[in-house]
Structure 1
């Protein structure tokens, strides 16, 4: 029969997950692979985390993120009166004006939109009125891609930084990009490089504000989601500019996107305080 030879006393091994005492090497934590999911799901109303029997330190965050992902519904990305009041109320107003544009007499609609235009002539006479009124219309109506982008992007941005700050980003893009494109037109007319008819072009819509919101939202995402958002959008806007169908508006979209990117320090601080 074998005998156990007594040896030097050794301390029992600590159970898995127990932190090591000072003076001993600490194991490196496993890389967290849920960063992309966390960024995509942040701001979405998440269900309660599913209980997992004895999860390990490496699998618990992944299981929690996957549990949230399985319960995400399309309605979580839409504006709600309580979760995103600014986007919800603004979308309701845009739905009404789009309905008017679709059903009312075309001559009447043209008169309304012409009066809301942020061309140079209107900006000189009633700048505040037309800057606000021009943002009440969607070029192309509710079937426009900007309508869908407005709902999705503004909802996501508002959930992260709040209604007042999301409205500030949208208005900054709308107002500053409008002035950045219309003021050079007025100066060019004064210098004789453009005809007087350039002072009365039809200019309205929400696209500048949406572009700024896209730029701001990208700053709240991790590296890869940020690239997946910014690279295609920038490519589309550059393609429109190269096509030269409406260079002034196309430049306005790029300027508005840059304005949104410029707000990254502010929106990140706003997110940290939220």
Structure 2
């Protein structure tokens, strides 16, 4: 990285490259061939590009996972808005990751529960889903972004529902607790936000973590749905725990996309 400052040295250019004079006169210089010197001088200066607003949204080529997933969520949200309420309730109840369903068909409900947005596509979580998943997928790729999302969704669900099952067996909770309605994308969004925070500039990182942390804290203090609140906190921690991995993925992806010299 070039550094601009005030000093006593000066720089002069010769036919074989740049020679630093003054304080560095006594240091040996590496001599380059005329061809190498011309090639070095021909490299254009790359200025930082201004972020284009449309890159915040998913696209078929760059973010196929986010785009396809958003289309599925739009369909299920439309169904929940126009279909008979009793049918919608039956579909969502069948997709619920409550203890009873996790015991009978764990993989099926873990996937099905992530096909619904609580409240529909006009909720803050839907907006956050688009921005966060798009940004994460552009940095690490489709399969890896999907893996982070599912990791948070699955682990946070199990971490909140398994204790409920044990509490019911021990007699600390009523038997109806194994049939609580539990579905949505918020655990996956929280995990993806936590992972994305490790890939952005520090000032934006703390804004992301601060906003979602404040939302989770408010939910826990209100104590309206403590299991979901703890699930959000767990999934956020899971996302933060993936920082070494997502940073490695991002470096590998950037290196693979960089032009190679001939």
Q: TM-score range by the shorter chain?
A: 0.7 to 0.9
Once the two structures are superposed, the pairs formed by residues 85-234 of structure 1 within 5 Å of their partners are 85-234=64-213
| Structure 1 gaps, min length 5 | 1-11, 26-59
- Match of 2:245? 266
Pair 1:103–1:24, CA change in 2 (3 A): same
Q: Partners in 2 of 1:22 and 1:222 — Cα distance?
A: 38
Instruction: Give the 3-state SS of the residue equivalent to 1:248 in structure 2.
Output: helix
- Match of 1:9? none
Q: CA deviation at 1:18?
A: 4.8
Q: CA deviation at 1:133?
A: 0.3
Instruction: Give the 3-state SS of the residue equivalent to 1:20 in structure 2.
Output: strand
Over the residues paired in the alignment, what is the CA RMSD in angstroms?
2.1
Q: Partners in 2 of 1:13 and 1:123 — Cα distance?
A: 71
Aligned residues: 223
Q: CA deviation at 1:21?
A: 6.1
Q: TM-score, normalised by structure 2?
A: 0.81
Q: TM-score, normalised by structure 1?
A: 0.77
Pair 1:22–1:184, CA change in 2 (3 A): farther
- Could you list the structure 1 runs, at least 4 aligned residues long, displaced by more than 4 angstroms after superposition: none
Instruction: Give the 3-state SS of the residue equivalent to 2:20 in structure 1.
Output: coil
Q: Partners in 2 of 1:253 and 1:237 — Cα distance?
A: 7
For the Cα contact (< 8 Å) 2:197–2:209, is it kept in 1? yes
Q: Partners in 2 of 1:214 and 1:22 — Cα distance?
A: 51
Query: Are residues 1:241 and 2:220 paired?
Result: yes
Write out per-residue CA displacement over residues 87-138 of structure 1, whole angstroms, 9 at most, x where no aligned residue. Answer: 0000000000000000000000000000000000000000000000000000
Pair 1:22–1:113, CA change in 2 (3 A): farther
